[in-house]
Amino acid sequence: MKLNFGKLIIYSTSWMLTASISIIIKTTPAFSQTQPAVSPNNSSQDLDLSPEVINNSPVLQRWRNKLPNLLEEIKNDPSFKTRLRLGYSQFPSTGQAGGVNVGVEDVLIGTSGLTVSGDYQAAFNGKRTAYGADLRYYVLPLGNYINIAPVVGYRYLETDRYSTDGVNVGGRVLLVLSRGGAADVSLTQSFVSPGSSEEVGLTTLSAGYAITRNLRLSTDIQKQNARESKDSRVGIVLEFMP
Protein backbone atom coordinates (compact mmCIF):
# COMPACT_ATOMS: atom_id res chain seq x y z
CA MET A 1 0.00 0.00 0.00
CA LYS A 2 1.29 3.34 -1.03
CA LEU A 3 1.26 6.02 1.74
CA ASN A 4 1.02 9.72 1.10
CA PHE A 5 3.48 11.03 3.70
CA GLY A 6 2.72 14.71 2.89
CA LYS A 7 -0.97 14.40 3.75
CA LEU A 8 -0.13 12.37 6.86
CA ILE A 9 2.16 15.11 8.15
CA ILE A 10 -0.47 17.80 7.52
CA TYR A 11 -3.20 15.80 9.28
CA SER A 12 -0.92 15.08 12.26
CA THR A 13 0.09 18.74 12.61
CA SER A 14 -3.54 19.91 12.43
CA TRP A 15 -4.59 17.44 15.12
CA MET A 16 -1.77 18.49 17.46
CA LEU A 17 -2.61 22.23 17.03
CA THR A 18 -6.30 21.61 17.75
CA ALA A 19 -5.46 19.62 20.87
CA SER A 20 -3.09 22.34 22.12
CA ILE A 21 -5.70 25.11 21.71
CA SER A 22 -8.28 22.96 23.54
CA ILE A 23 -5.90 22.41 26.47
CA ILE A 24 -5.07 26.15 26.70
CA ILE A 25 -8.77 27.13 26.71
CA LYS A 26 -9.58 24.58 29.45
CA THR A 27 -6.65 25.47 31.72
CA THR A 28 -6.61 29.30 31.40
CA PRO A 29 -8.97 31.28 33.74
CA ALA A 30 -11.34 33.82 32.23
CA PHE A 31 -9.72 37.23 31.58
CA SER A 32 -12.32 39.05 33.62
CA GLN A 33 -11.49 36.89 36.64
CA THR A 34 -7.77 37.68 36.58
CA GLN A 35 -8.05 41.48 36.17
CA PRO A 36 -8.52 43.58 39.32
CA ALA A 37 -11.35 46.04 39.34
CA VAL A 38 -10.15 49.54 38.46
CA SER A 39 -11.24 52.15 40.93
CA PRO A 40 -10.23 55.75 41.64
CA ASN A 41 -8.63 54.60 44.88
CA ASN A 42 -6.45 52.00 43.12
CA SER A 43 -5.37 54.51 40.50
CA SER A 44 -4.46 57.04 43.19
CA GLN A 45 -2.11 54.52 44.76
CA ASP A 46 -0.09 54.61 41.54
CA LEU A 47 0.83 58.23 42.29
CA ASP A 48 4.38 58.59 43.50
CA LEU A 49 3.27 60.71 46.47
CA SER A 50 3.45 60.24 50.20
CA PRO A 51 0.20 59.66 52.14
CA GLU A 52 0.75 62.97 53.95
CA VAL A 53 0.67 64.91 50.67
CA ILE A 54 -2.56 63.22 49.58
CA ASN A 55 -4.23 63.69 53.00
CA ASN A 56 -3.34 67.40 53.05
CA SER A 57 -4.63 68.08 49.55
CA PRO A 58 -8.43 68.44 49.19
CA VAL A 59 -8.01 68.51 45.40
CA LEU A 60 -6.22 65.13 45.28
CA GLN A 61 -8.75 63.59 47.67
CA ARG A 62 -11.63 64.81 45.52
CA TRP A 63 -10.02 63.58 42.30
CA ARG A 64 -9.40 60.14 43.85
CA ASN A 65 -13.13 59.63 44.31
CA LYS A 66 -14.36 61.18 41.07
CA LEU A 67 -12.79 63.04 38.19
CA PRO A 68 -14.38 66.52 38.11
CA ASN A 69 -16.23 67.97 35.16
CA LEU A 70 -14.28 71.22 34.88
CA LEU A 71 -16.66 72.82 32.42
CA GLU A 72 -19.58 72.10 34.74
CA GLU A 73 -17.66 73.57 37.68
CA ILE A 74 -16.93 76.76 35.76
CA LYS A 75 -20.63 77.09 35.03
CA ASN A 76 -22.05 76.30 38.48
CA ASP A 77 -19.32 76.45 41.16
CA PRO A 78 -18.98 80.11 42.29
CA SER A 79 -15.51 81.61 42.14
CA PHE A 80 -16.49 83.79 45.14
CA LYS A 81 -17.93 82.96 48.55
CA THR A 82 -20.51 84.31 50.98
CA ARG A 83 -18.85 86.54 53.58
CA LEU A 84 -19.89 87.74 57.02
CA ARG A 85 -18.29 91.14 57.65
CA LEU A 86 -17.24 93.08 60.76
CA GLY A 87 -14.88 96.02 60.65
CA TYR A 88 -13.83 99.57 61.40
CA SER A 89 -14.79 102.59 59.30
CA GLN A 90 -13.17 106.01 59.03
CA PHE A 91 -15.20 108.95 57.71
CA PRO A 92 -12.69 111.53 56.41
CA SER A 93 -15.38 114.00 55.31
CA THR A 94 -16.98 113.96 58.77
CA GLY A 95 -14.07 115.22 60.85
CA GLN A 96 -12.19 111.91 60.51
CA ALA A 97 -14.80 110.28 62.71
CA GLY A 98 -14.39 106.59 63.45
CA GLY A 99 -17.16 104.05 63.29
CA VAL A 100 -18.24 100.49 62.71
CA ASN A 101 -19.52 98.51 59.76
CA VAL A 102 -21.17 95.09 59.71
CA GLY A 103 -22.79 93.14 56.93
CA VAL A 104 -23.12 90.07 54.78
CA GLU A 105 -22.06 89.75 51.14
CA ASP A 106 -23.32 87.56 48.32
CA VAL A 107 -25.59 85.00 49.94
CA LEU A 108 -26.37 82.76 46.99
CA ILE A 109 -29.94 81.81 46.19
CA GLY A 110 -29.63 78.35 44.64
CA THR A 111 -27.50 78.25 41.47
CA SER A 112 -29.38 81.02 39.67
CA GLY A 113 -26.65 83.66 40.03
CA LEU A 114 -28.88 85.72 42.32
CA THR A 115 -27.37 86.88 45.62
CA VAL A 116 -28.51 88.92 48.63
CA SER A 117 -26.26 91.42 50.42
CA GLY A 118 -26.80 93.82 53.31
CA ASP A 119 -24.78 96.14 55.53
CA TYR A 120 -24.90 98.72 58.32
CA GLN A 121 -22.44 101.58 58.87
CA ALA A 122 -22.38 104.22 61.60
CA ALA A 123 -19.98 106.79 63.03
CA PHE A 124 -19.39 106.76 66.77
CA ASN A 125 -20.25 110.49 66.96
CA GLY A 126 -23.69 109.87 65.43
CA LYS A 127 -23.13 112.11 62.38
CA ARG A 128 -23.07 109.33 59.76
CA THR A 129 -25.41 106.38 59.32
CA ALA A 130 -26.11 104.13 56.36
CA TYR A 131 -27.80 100.78 55.92
CA GLY A 132 -29.53 98.79 53.24
CA ALA A 133 -29.94 95.52 51.36
CA ASP A 134 -29.42 94.64 47.71
CA LEU A 135 -30.13 91.91 45.21
CA ARG A 136 -27.38 91.18 42.68
CA TYR A 137 -27.77 88.99 39.63
CA TYR A 138 -24.49 87.76 38.14
CA VAL A 139 -25.16 87.42 34.44
CA LEU A 140 -22.04 85.39 33.55
CA PRO A 141 -21.30 81.82 34.75
CA LEU A 142 -20.61 81.89 38.49
CA GLY A 143 -17.21 80.28 38.05
CA ASN A 144 -15.89 83.07 35.83
CA TYR A 145 -12.92 85.14 36.93
CA ILE A 146 -14.75 88.25 35.70
CA ASN A 147 -18.43 88.83 36.32
CA ILE A 148 -20.96 91.65 36.17
CA ALA A 149 -24.24 92.09 38.03
CA PRO A 150 -27.08 94.59 38.01
CA VAL A 151 -27.94 95.78 41.52
CA VAL A 152 -31.36 96.68 42.95
CA GLY A 153 -32.35 97.23 46.58
CA TYR A 154 -33.10 99.74 49.31
CA ARG A 155 -30.77 102.15 51.12
CA TYR A 156 -30.98 104.74 53.89
CA LEU A 157 -28.34 107.48 54.20
CA GLU A 158 -27.92 110.10 56.93
CA THR A 159 -25.21 112.74 57.44
CA ASP A 160 -25.00 115.93 59.49
CA ARG A 161 -26.32 117.82 56.41
CA TYR A 162 -29.05 115.62 54.95
CA SER A 163 -30.84 112.29 55.08
CA THR A 164 -32.51 110.28 52.33
CA ASP A 165 -33.76 106.81 51.58
CA GLY A 166 -35.23 104.94 48.67
CA VAL A 167 -34.58 102.42 45.93
CA ASN A 168 -30.93 101.74 45.18
CA VAL A 169 -30.08 100.70 41.59
CA GLY A 170 -26.80 100.26 39.78
CA GLY A 171 -24.22 97.71 38.70
CA ARG A 172 -21.23 95.78 39.96
CA VAL A 173 -18.07 94.45 38.31
CA LEU A 174 -16.22 91.60 40.05
CA LEU A 175 -12.65 90.56 39.25
CA VAL A 176 -11.65 87.27 40.91
CA LEU A 177 -7.88 87.01 41.28
CA SER A 178 -8.03 83.59 42.96
CA ARG A 179 -11.04 81.26 43.09
CA GLY A 180 -12.86 80.36 46.29
CA GLY A 181 -12.70 83.82 47.85
CA ALA A 182 -8.91 83.85 48.20
CA ALA A 183 -8.58 87.23 46.47
CA ASP A 184 -10.87 89.53 44.51
CA VAL A 185 -11.56 93.15 43.61
CA SER A 186 -14.98 94.69 43.00
CA LEU A 187 -16.34 98.04 41.85
CA THR A 188 -19.97 98.97 42.53
CA GLN A 189 -21.76 102.06 41.25
CA SER A 190 -25.33 102.73 42.36
CA PHE A 191 -27.83 105.57 42.85
CA VAL A 192 -30.22 106.06 45.75
CA SER A 193 -33.58 107.60 44.76
CA PRO A 194 -32.45 108.05 41.15
CA GLY A 195 -34.10 110.85 39.20
CA SER A 196 -35.34 112.67 42.30
CA SER A 197 -34.07 115.84 43.96
CA GLU A 198 -32.60 113.63 46.71
CA GLU A 199 -30.56 111.43 44.40
CA VAL A 200 -27.25 110.26 45.88
CA GLY A 201 -24.52 108.45 43.95
CA LEU A 202 -22.49 105.73 45.65
CA THR A 203 -19.18 104.48 44.30
CA THR A 204 -17.54 101.63 46.24
CA LEU A 205 -14.20 99.97 45.53
CA SER A 206 -13.45 96.83 47.57
CA ALA A 207 -10.53 94.42 47.66
CA GLY A 208 -10.16 91.27 49.76
CA TYR A 209 -7.40 88.76 50.46
CA ALA A 210 -7.67 85.51 52.44
CA ILE A 211 -5.33 85.05 55.41
CA THR A 212 -6.68 81.59 56.29
CA ARG A 213 -9.11 79.18 54.66
CA ASN A 214 -12.09 80.91 56.30
CA LEU A 215 -10.89 84.44 57.09
CA ARG A 216 -10.17 87.41 54.83
CA LEU A 217 -9.02 90.98 55.26
CA SER A 218 -10.89 93.45 53.12
CA THR A 219 -10.72 97.19 52.46
CA ASP A 220 -13.52 99.48 51.27
CA ILE A 221 -13.23 102.94 49.72
CA GLN A 222 -16.56 104.65 49.18
CA LYS A 223 -17.60 108.00 47.72
CA GLN A 224 -21.05 109.38 48.53
CA ASN A 225 -22.11 112.21 46.20
CA ALA A 226 -25.20 114.29 46.95
CA ARG A 227 -26.22 117.83 46.01
CA GLU A 228 -25.73 118.99 49.59
CA SER A 229 -22.24 117.53 50.07
CA LYS A 230 -19.67 114.98 48.95
CA ASP A 231 -18.75 112.45 51.62
CA SER A 232 -16.31 109.57 51.88
CA ARG A 233 -15.65 106.45 53.90
CA VAL A 234 -12.70 104.06 54.27
CA GLY A 235 -13.12 100.68 55.94
CA ILE A 236 -10.96 97.81 57.11
CA VAL A 237 -13.01 94.64 57.50
CA LEU A 238 -12.50 91.12 58.79
CA GLU A 239 -14.57 88.70 56.73
CA PHE A 240 -15.60 85.18 57.69
CA MET A 241 -16.34 82.70 54.89
CA PRO A 242 -18.61 79.87 56.17
pLDDT digits (tens, 9 = 90+) for 73-92: 667 789 999 999 999 999 99
What residue numbers bound the domain in which 183 lies? 79-240
Based on the domain organization, do 122 and 62 belong to the same domain?
A: no
Query: What's the mean pLDDT in 50-54?
Result: 77
Based on the domain organization, do 61 and 114 belong to the same domain?
A: no
| 3-state class (DSSP) for residue 241 | coil
What was the pLDDT predicted at 32?
42
Based on the domain organization, do 31 and 116 belong to the same domain?
A: no
What was the pLDDT predicted at 1?
43
- In a domain, residue 74? The reply is no
- In a domain, residue 53? The reply is yes
Based on the domain organization, do 233 and 116 belong to the same domain?
A: yes
Query: What's the mean pLDDT in 205-227?
Result: 96
The pTM of the full predicted model, rounded to 2 decimals, is 0.71
Based on the domain organization, do 126 and 214 belong to the same domain?
A: yes
Based on the domain organization, do 136 and 84 belong to the same domain?
A: yes
Which long-range CB contacts under 8 A does 158-161 form with residues at least 24 apart? 158/128, 158/129, 158/130, 159/94, 159/127, 159/128, 159/224, 159/226, 159/228, 159/229, 159/231, 160/94, 160/127, 160/128, 161/228, 161/229
> Do residues 162 and 93 touch, judged by C-beta distance below 8 A?
no
Q: Which of 198, 196, 186 is nearest to 226 (CA)?
A: 198
**With bands split at pLDDT 50, 70 and 90, how would you rate the model's confidence at 33?**
very low
